[in-house]
Structure 1
Amino acid sequence: MRYLTLKELPKELRPRERLLARGAAALSNIELLAILLRTGTNKTSAVDLAGRLFAEFKDLTGLMEAAVEELASIKGVGPVKAVQIKAALELGKRLAFSPAAKRVAIRSPDDAAALVMEDMRRLDREHFCALLLNTKNQVLSVETISVGTLNSSVVHPRELFKAAIKKSSAAVILLHNHPSGDPAPSREDIAITKRIVKSGEILGISVLDHLIIGDNRFISLKSEGVI
């Protein structure tokens, strides 16, 4: 079996050469992933294979959340390339929240929504997440607390505050998505929010807001008077 390499593509289409000439920021996600893959199959280039991965898993968040076995199941990827992809994505995630990285400060619900909207708006199941903040409302990390079904997510305050305490968080902002695209809160959303707020008061960790993420829109339960 003969594999097409990036070197066999026309020079103007080679991601590696484009990166050297124009810098990594000039490349698309597909081109950057193609450099990691290095080779495609006997019928497709590495760029085509990268495009197939994004078609299957939608975006970088989808690739991050996919299991190694799911990535490896795509023809032309296999376990070695799948592990390389997962390792590269994890390094990027760690860099984003490393002590040396510039901390993002949350000053409004819009700031929090902008940070997670693209990652959460297209998820096909409810994800309950939290922004963990320091005393200056700077983001320490974004944590996924639980993953539910199409229309519900189950979260226990214990799991949320376990993550917050581990990161020495002073405050948290709750986040969860509605796969339907409609961010209107349910009675369950309001009930769990009030429960978590009370738990936070006991532990001395402030719950600043709870954002419900829809399709490019969101609702702040603090703005709605729930918190």
Structure 2
Amino acid sequence: MIRDVNIEDRPRERLLRQGAMSLSNQELLAILLRTGTKEESVLILANRVLSVFERLHHLKDATIEEMVAIRGIGEVKAIQLLAAIELGRRLAQKHSDEKYTIRSPQDAAAYLMPDMTSLKQEHFVVLFLNVKNQILHRQTIFIGSLNASIVHPREIFREAVKRSAASIICAHNHPSGVPTPSEEDIEVTRRILEAGYIIGIDLIDHLIIGDHQFISLKEKGYF
């Protein structure tokens, strides 16, 4: 049990004394979990969590259902872990956003594909750009099957105005892995294009992301 570990070697004490960078993945996870179970220490529980997801990187895609399926992880612990993972994702994304410039559909796809290519549901994402085509902000507008009545331009351009964006790039994934545009995809794109024209914020492109491949609706001549 954790109480059997020398107090100076416990994760919290080591973090205070040596800093967070000195801790292993197991120890950092143990601090987030806070407690173990009656049968095992929090360090052993943390190690089992890492074993279930095989690699630390895979934790970023974990769902609450997958978390609570692990013996010793209840809903509270699962929520704490997912909140910490999301906070880390946002911090990393913010750092990346400040430096990333979009010069081509390939640039936008390279930026979005690592997160979107393996999603199990459709995610409609918008990149908000400044006059230099640098990313100001990224936001998921909608999750679910794409529908023109649900993905409304007002939600997109409200955020664009708030961010003082000069232009936007829209993207959504096809969980099937095939990025061929549907009639619904094209209709949504045209509605966004028209709304942007009225407001004065350009729609640069709409990407459809499949299984490590993508289609640019602009390049394909849909607008």
Partners of 1:147 and 1:59 in 2: CA distance: 21
What's 1:182 paired with? 178
Give the aligned length: 208
Match of residue 188, structure 2, among 182, 189, 192: 192
After TM superposition, the score normalised by the length of structure 2 is: 0.74
Deviation of 1:159 (Å): 1.3
Match of residue 159, structure 1, among 142, 155, 159: 155
What's 1:122 paired with? 118
Change (3 A) 1:211 1:101: closer
**CA contact 2:206–2:217 (8 Å) conserved in 1:** yes
Change (3 A) 1:190 1:90: same
Aligned AA (1:49): V
Max Rg structure? 2
Aligned AA (1:199): A
Q: Which ranges in structure 2 are unaligned for 5 or more consecutive residues?
A: none
What's 1:62 paired with? 61
**CA contact 2:98–2:135 (8 Å) conserved in 1:** no
Is 1:82 paired with 2:78?
yes
Aligned AA (2:47): V
What's 2:206 paired with? 210
Partners of 1:40 and 1:184 in 2: CA distance: 48
Q: Which ranges in structure 1 are unaligned for 5 or more consecutive residues?
A: none
What's 1:50 paired with? 50
**CA contact 1:34–1:50 (8 Å) conserved in 2:** no
What's 1:224 paired with? 220
Change (3 A) 1:142 1:101: closer
Deviation of 1:140 (Å): 1.6
Change (3 A) 1:32 1:131: farther
Aligned AA (1:209): D
Identity %: 49
Indicate the SS of the match to 2:151. Answer: coil
- Spell out, residue by residue over 1:112-145, the C-alpha distance to the aligned partner (whole angstroms, 9 max, x if none): 1111212111111111111111121111222111
**CA contact 1:37–1:50 (8 Å) conserved in 2:** no
Partners of 1:167 and 1:161 in 2: CA distance: 9
